Chain A
Amino acid sequence: MNRRHLHRIKRRDTIARWVIKTGGIGVIFCVFGMLALIASTALPLFFPAKASPVAVAPGAADAGATNGTLAVLVDDDRLAVWSLRADGTAELREVGSGKLLEKKRIRPDGADRKIVACEAAGAQNFSLLWDDGAALAVKVEFKAATAADGIKSVTCGVRTLWRVQRPEGVTDGGINAKNGRTEERKNGIKDERKNGRAEQDVRNTPDVHDTRNAHSAAACQAVALRPGDEGGAPSTTVACPAVALRPGNEGGAPSTTVACPAVALRPGEEGGGTQVWHLADGNFLVIREKTESDPMGEEKTTRAQFTVETAAEVTAWTLSRDGGMLYAGSASGGLMRWDVTGGKAELLDRTRLLAAGRGVTALGLVFGDLSVAVGDSAGGVTVWSPASIYGPDGAKHLALTHTLAAHKSPVRRFFFTQHDKGVLSLSDDGVLHVSHMTSERLMLELAGISPAAVPALSARGSSLCALGADGRTALWSVRNPHPEVGAKVLFGKVWYENYDKPELVWQSSSSNDDAEAKLSLIPLLFGSLKATFYALLLAIPLALAGALYTSQFAPLEVKAVVKPAVEIMAAVPSVVIGFIAALWLAPKLEAGILSVAVFAVALPLVFIVFMLSWMRLVRPTALGRRIDKGWEFAVVAPVLLGAAALAWWLGPLAERLLFAGDFKLWLFREAGWRVDQRNSIVIAFALGFAVIPVLFTIAEDAFSNVPKSLKAASLALGASRWQTVWRVVLPGASPGVFAAIIIGFGRAVGETMIVLMATGNTPVLDWGPFSGMRTLSANIAVEIPEAAAGGTLYRVLFLSAVLLFVLTSVLNTAAEVIRSKLRKRYAE
């Protein structure tokens, strides 16, 4: 053999060695890689939000503080920033260059009129109160356009939805006798507000000119012009509406028209709407107009006007977007809620913040208009929702459902995301918190914001703009993809809207958009454990006893049949087991549920009777002695079948005699248990069937590995077969048996198809044997088709996969360690 040939052989050998080594160790990386990938997909759920500042204009300051900026807005693509000034003008500036794109007056008719109060109603709607008593409901709309060359541009339109005039007779601190009466009028003409015009024929309202040439306006919750400041110069400050803003306090300048510090307008969809005027005496004046078309096409307008007595010093208030609910908070920490949909105000709640000595400084309604966010003078932020706290049938009262991260100084104002339950709060010291109501997580904290103007979040929540402390408009791009999930949501009780107490719920999707996603993993974990518990309840005794018998008592020819049979059992695809369980076993069990119960009772009885008669009658005979060693199972099988047949026959009889012919009805009446068709008993059989081979094989292995010498010694000392097994084999094999149970547990927890098909997949927290469950694994299979890649649900499902991975890994590793110890013990 020449040297080159030898050299080649050696080189090949070295290469092969390295390839095999890499491949072998590669398996470790496979496992870690899998875990790393799943975990890295799930991890962003717990990241905080990110905000990166974007410069609106380089160079010179745009001097927002000195020109009285009331509110700012930004579009989703951060192309332009819109701002509203107290002098009634609105301007649009390009982001980046700072170029002024547009500057317009909101009111074409009031050239020298000023805005004295500005209230934000949801996304980009504002109610503006002017110093001549006019009030406008305006909506700001960004229109993005993409030019042929791909450059995006944005224009901004301000639509006046509704215009009203301060009601007649509303003077400083009171209203005249006309209030509180309802009248109806026929209108006849078509309401054109739907077309973007504001031609509402409202009494006391001056004719409104065509407002199609939209003006600009912006908003804040409560802006008040301080009258008497150096001759009405355009210096405005923003304050809570009722804080010390008593018109006339400082000499009544510029005029008596500032009889109410703020107004909230909610135009209705059909026409009319709700006006709420906050009067100087602390009460509210509510005017509701409703226009309805009758079948003849005639329009009928209903008008109601009434006062809401507050009997408290109102320091913050807000009105729901449909104009039906009025909320107010007082300086002494009181929180009130009125239903104003009827002809009068109905006080629904008069409650108190929990901590004493705190006054309400800000109020706002979380998206969906069900929960109210309350900011107090100590900086606390709480969320209150209506709930039946005094029993399921009682009226709903405001209850403290969430406590969000507190500020260090009084909360000045709230604003909200418009697609989920995000709560943004701004405090007096200029700190902005981006929190989420459901998860109670503080996602982001930004400092250095002037509390003077209303900040805003763009429609999709991707941009945030505010008036900076330096008086310039500040802009951030925000990434806040998963605010609704946190450890508390996933594993703790959460008080959801429309629930009467904190609960553990999994309900990933709902019928309407503004409902919270309920993503508690506890019901699913519970379901997994419940299914596993019932399966193991059946599988452990059967598999262990069967394995013990096979390894210790059965003759070789029996083993030669039993072991392949168990392997066949292990090979049955789980989809087949699930299918049989759901479509064959479940209906049969449902029909004969009592027969199963009878069988559970009859089996031991029949077995005892059989044992006694066998021992006394058959065993002493020659036939008995021949049969019994190792073939007991074959003898006992017909007995089991007999017991089953007996139970099948007795079940209906017992049902008729004991339970008036309907066991399920009896069970529901007596125990309150509903019998689902796909229940835990079905799972016990189906999942048990899947787990038995695993348990059986490993346990049989452990029993067989106990050295023969130990058994021989025991038998030689005079112990019986059973005594030897019970006292010698079982203790020796116990670690292996334990490992078998652990591995069986892991297998049952992770099984998917069987539970997917045979459980009904309802995520309930109920240990009862007659109800179903939804397991972690089945949940993944059920929900992943609906989960958008990268979305919250998608990541939560990955998180549940991580849970399953870690759980089974820990169990399997533990079992492997135990088994290898056992192997070493008997290796000598």
Chain B
Amino acid sequence: MKKTTNSLQRGEPFIWMGGAALALILLTVILMLGVVLANGAGAFWPARLSLLELKDGSRVLGEVTRRQAETPHSAERLQIRVGNRDMYGADFRWIETTAIKAESYPPDAVWAERMEHGPFIGFVKTETKSGAAAMIVLADASGREKTLTAGQVVRLYRPNAMSFQAKFGLYLARLWELLSGQPREANTEGGLLPAIIGTVMMVFLMSIFAFPLGVMTAVYLREYAKDGWAVRGVRIAVNNLAGIPSIVYGIFGLGFFVYGVGAGIDRLFFADKLPTPTWGTGGILWASLTLSLLTVPVVIVATEEALGAIPPGVRQASLALGATPLQTLTRVLLPMASPGIMTGFILAMARAAGEVAPLMLTGVVKLAPSLPLDGSFPFVHLDRKFMHLGFHIYDVGFQSPNVEASRPMVFMTTLLLLAIVLVMSGTAVWLRNRMRKRYAGGAF
């Protein structure tokens, strides 16, 4: 008998191809996370300001944001963020490396974050500090002056003269502003507080509706239903709910909640305000209800799995001791399944936090005039429109008039959203794996 030593016949290369596929998948995941991390995490780090002296005698001061060649083997061009949008008309400038005579990093170059018109990049001429009426005169690289009051300046620093600690401090300050501040300049600068509050509140409301229904359905499937058409029907329904595109949920929310239920409430209780809609327009309640339908399958699947992992002996023991099915459920099964159910909750919340398409139809806005949560009675305003981190990314990244200047902000938002979602999912996965191990032996 001939020995099959030929590795091709034994199929070794195919296994390697499988390995290559897996490697590619893992590399893409790493690449994606790396891109977000590299672009997002570095966005707030104070960058070095370069003073370029050009061959035509003019001087340009700014942050070099990109070096790239027009064609692969031609001379490089520099993209420079020169700021001073109100004076130059644009934030960015392209300069050929061949046109540059000298490059230096003057320590007294300042970067002034302003309330309006983006940053001012230049030098401080005079500074008058006299209480509230503090004034500062700034000049750009070519000497054109600009006077700002203290109220117009958010923050002023000299990046070229800063130590690492100072830079780190500034980084943290900016990060804090991102988490706790109000947006400025059509969302391209400032903080994300309204979007964070909107997202958290929407997820919270969604949980109130989705969790009971999900757990109830899963309990029905595992503990109450006898195998038959009803179970099969429910299973197919759950599968369908999980597979229906999110935009379809959005259009359902629009048609049913907003124009159906909402307009009905308006006709009944807010007829005096019509035609201005109160509930008959997008709002945080409608968005949450829509998302709760979308996330119910996640809860159902996780709860079912958790209940299924409990060995049947536990149930039988409880029933044999005279407990009713309800008592068995509430005192034995649900506590035992709670890590699994929690997994489902977290996964559902992560899903809801990242979903954008249905919200666009049911109440998310780019800039909400008032938060759905504030100090005026009744404190929670479920009919209000809200801001959302995911929509913020779409809006600022694609609808903003100044896409290039808002890039750091969008990458930062992306990083934040991704971090929230991944931490939640990671926790859920970890919880589930721990739970699986607990019953893995099934040693009863």
Give the shortest distance, in Å, between B424 (CB) and chain A (any CB). Answer: 8
- Encoded as 1 (CB less than 8 Å from any A CB) or 0, chain B from 402 to 444 comes to 0100010010001001100110111001000100000000000
The answer to whether B393 and A576 touch across the interface, beta carbons within 8 angstroms, is yes
**Complex interface: stretch among B86-94, B183-191, B253-261, B267-275:** B253-261
> How far, in whole Å, are A726 and B17 apart by their CA atoms in the complex?
13
**Complex interface: stretch among A34-42, A51-59, A176-184, A289-297:** A34-42
> How far, in whole Å, are A27 and B324 apart by their CA atoms in the complex?
25
The answer to whether B14 and A784 touch across the interface, beta carbons within 8 angstroms, is no
Give the contacting residue for B418; candidates A20, A576, A637; CB below 8 A: A576
The answer to whether A574 and B354 touch across the interface, beta carbons within 8 angstroms, is yes
> How far, in whole Å, are A750 and B294 apart by their CA atoms in the complex?
13
Q: A655-B72, A726-B14 are in contact. Are A28 and B252 (CB under 8 A)?
A: no
Q: A13-B325, A567-B425, A777-B247 are in contact. Are A812 and B73 (CB under 8 A)?
A: no
List the B side residues contacting A574 at CB < 8 Å. 354-357
Give the contacting residue for B230; candidates A25, A31, A548; CB below 8 A: A25
B242 within 8 A of A: yes
A119 within 8 A of B: no
B28 within 8 A of A: yes
Q: Which residues 635-653 of A sit at the B interface, judged by CB distance below 8 A? A: 635-637, 639-641, 651-653
Q: Which residues 556-586 of A sit at the B interface, judged by CB distance below 8 A? A: 562, 564-569, 571-580, 582-584
B136 within 8 A of A: no
The answer to whether B29 and A753 touch across the interface, beta carbons within 8 angstroms, is no
Q: A572-B418, A726-B14 are in contact. Are A750 and B324 (CB under 8 A)?
A: no
Give the contacting residue for A752; candidates B25, B240, B246; CB below 8 A: B246
Give the shortest distance, in Å, between B172 (CB) and chain A (any CB). Answer: 24
Which residue of chain B has its CB nearest to the CB of A722?
Answer: B11
Q: A812-B243, A813-B236 are in contact. Are A562 and B26 (CB under 8 A)?
A: yes
Give the shortest distance, in Å, between A433 (CB) and chain B (any CB). Answer: 33
> How far, in whole Å, are A812 and B32 apart by their CA atoms in the complex?
29
The answer to whether B256 and A37 touch across the interface, beta carbons within 8 angstroms, is yes
Give the contacting residue for A546; candidates B18, B250, B260, B398; CB below 8 A: B18
The answer to whether B220 and A20 touch across the interface, beta carbons within 8 angstroms, is yes
B320 within 8 A of A: no
List the A side residues contacting B72 at CB < 8 Å. 651-653, 655-656
Give the shortest distance, in Å, between B406 (CB) and chain A (any CB). Answer: 10
A10 within 8 A of B: yes
> How far, in whole Å, are A459 and B229 apart by their CA atoms in the complex?
56
Q: Which among B300, B361, B393 has the greatest number of chain A C-beta atoms within 10 A?
A: B393
The answer to whether B21 and A542 touch across the interface, beta carbons within 8 angstroms, is yes
> How far, in whole Å, are A607 and B429 apart by their CA atoms in the complex?
34
Give the shortest distance, in Å, between B30 (CB) and chain A (any CB). Answer: 9
**Complex interface: stretch among A254-262, A340-348, A388-396, A801-809:** A801-809
Which residue of chain A has its CB nearest to the CB of B388?
Answer: A575
B327 within 8 A of A: yes
B13 within 8 A of A: yes
The answer to whether A10 and B324 touch across the interface, beta carbons within 8 angstroms, is yes
Q: A25-B230, A784-B361 are in contact. Are A542 and B36 (CB under 8 A)?
A: no
The answer to whether A811 and B71 touch across the interface, beta carbons within 8 angstroms, is no
Q: Which residues 341-364 of A sit at the B interface, judged by CB distance below 8 A? A: none
List the B side residues contacting A577 at CB < 8 Å. 32
The answer to whether B35 and A757 touch across the interface, beta carbons within 8 angstroms, is no
B47 within 8 A of A: no
Q: A24-B217, A550-B22 are in contact. Are A575 and B248 (CB under 8 A)?
A: no
Q: A27-B237, A781-B361, A808-B245 are in contact. Are A757 and B398 (CB under 8 A)?
A: yes
A553 within 8 A of B: yes
List the B side residues contacting A607 at CB < 8 Å. 16-17, 20
The answer to whether B418 and A656 touch across the interface, beta carbons within 8 angstroms, is no
The answer to whether B23 and A636 touch across the interface, beta carbons within 8 angstroms, is yes
List the B side residues contacting A692 at CB < 8 Å. 25
Q: Which residues 335-385 of B sit at the A interface, judged by CB distance below 8 A? A: 347, 350-351, 353-357, 360-361
The answer to whether A13 and B324 touch across the interface, beta carbons within 8 angstroms, is yes
The answer to whether A549 and B247 touch across the interface, beta carbons within 8 angstroms, is no
The answer to whether A553 and B19 touch across the interface, beta carbons within 8 angstroms, is yes
The answer to whether B234 and A579 touch across the interface, beta carbons within 8 angstroms, is no
The answer to whether B22 and A554 touch across the interface, beta carbons within 8 angstroms, is yes
Chain A residue total in the interface (Cβ 8 A): 108
Give the contacting residue for A652; candidates B73, B216, B260, B426; CB below 8 A: B73
B219 within 8 A of A: yes
List the B side residues contacting A746 at CB < 8 Å. 243
List the A side residues contacting B318 at CB < 8 Å. none
> How far, in whole Å, are A569 and B30 apart by their CA atoms in the complex?
10
Q: A575-B393, A692-B25, A753-B356 are in contact. Are A804 and B248 (CB under 8 A)?
A: yes
List the A side residues contacting B236 at CB < 8 Å. 813, 816
Give the contacting residue for A640; candidates B24, B220, B225; CB below 8 A: B24
Give the shortest distance, in Å, between A380 (CB) and chain B (any CB). Answer: 41
B221 within 8 A of A: yes
The answer to whether B23 and A24 touch across the interface, beta carbons within 8 angstroms, is no
List the B side residues contacting A652 at CB < 8 Å. 71-73
> How far, in whole Å, are A797 and B240 apart by their CA atoms in the complex?
21
Give the shortest distance, in Å, between A560 (CB) and chain B (any CB). Answer: 8
> How far, in whole Å, are A797 and B259 apart by their CA atoms in the complex?
15
B132 within 8 A of A: no
Give the contacting residue for B11; candidates A31, A41, A550, A721; CB below 8 A: A721
List the B side residues contacting A751 at CB < 8 Å. 245
List the A side residues contacting B252 at CB < 8 Å. 34, 37-38, 801
Give the shortest distance, in Å, between B246 (CB) and chain A (any CB). Answer: 6
B251 within 8 A of A: yes
List the A side residues contacting B403 at CB < 8 Å. 583
B296 within 8 A of A: yes
Give the contacting residue for B357; candidates A21, A553, A753; CB below 8 A: A753
A311 within 8 A of B: no
List the A side residues contacting B326 at CB < 8 Å. 12-13, 16-17
List the A side residues contacting B300 at CB < 8 Å. 27
Give the contacting residue for A634; candidates B23, B235, B425; CB below 8 A: B23
The answer to whether B357 and A24 touch across the interface, beta carbons within 8 angstroms, is no
A720 within 8 A of B: yes
A689 within 8 A of B: yes
B79 within 8 A of A: no
The answer to whether B22 and A633 touch across the interface, beta carbons within 8 angstroms, is yes
Which residue of chain A has its CB nearest to the CB of B330?
Answer: A16
A77 within 8 A of B: no
The answer to whether B247 and A780 touch across the interface, beta carbons within 8 angstroms, is yes
List the B side residues contacting A813 at CB < 8 Å. 236, 239-240
Q: Which residues 1-54 of A sit at the B interface, judged by CB distance below 8 A? A: 9-10, 12-13, 16-17, 19-21, 23-28, 30-31, 34, 37-38, 41
Apart from A24-B225, A27-B237, A784-B251, 15 more pairs, CB < 8 Å: A9-B324, A17-B325, A27-B217, A542-B21, A565-B29, A579-B397, A632-B20, A633-B18, A655-B72, A721-B15, A750-B243, A753-B390, A798-B255, A808-B244, A816-B236
Interface residues of A, Cβ cutoff 8 Å to B? 9-10, 12-13, 16-17, 19-21, 23-28, 30-31, 34, 37-38, 41, 541-546, 548-550, 553-554, 562, 564-569, 571-580, 582-584, 607, 611, 614-615, 632-637, 639-641, 651-653, 655-656, 661-662, 689, 692, 696, 720-723, 725-726, 743, 746-747, 749-753, 756-757, 777, 780-781, 784, 789, 797-798, 801, 804-805, 808-809, 811-813, 815-816
Interface residues of B, Cβ cutoff 8 Å to A? 4, 7, 9-29, 32, 35-36, 39, 71-73, 212-213, 216-217, 219-221, 223-225, 230, 233-252, 254-256, 259-260, 293, 296, 300, 324-327, 329, 347, 350-351, 353-357, 360-361, 390-391, 393-394, 397-398, 403, 407, 410, 414, 417-418, 421-422, 424-426, 429, 433
Some 25 contacts from A to B, beta carbons below 8 A apart, are A16-B326, A16-B329, A19-B216, A24-B216, A24-B224, A24-B230, A27-B217, A28-B237, A30-B237, A31-B237, A37-B255, A562-B26, A574-B355, A614-B16, A632-B15, A636-B16, A640-B20, A662-B71, A750-B243, A757-B397, A780-B251, A798-B251, A805-B245, A805-B248, A808-B243
Closest 4 CB pairs of A and B: A750-B245, A722-B11, A573-B354, A24-B220
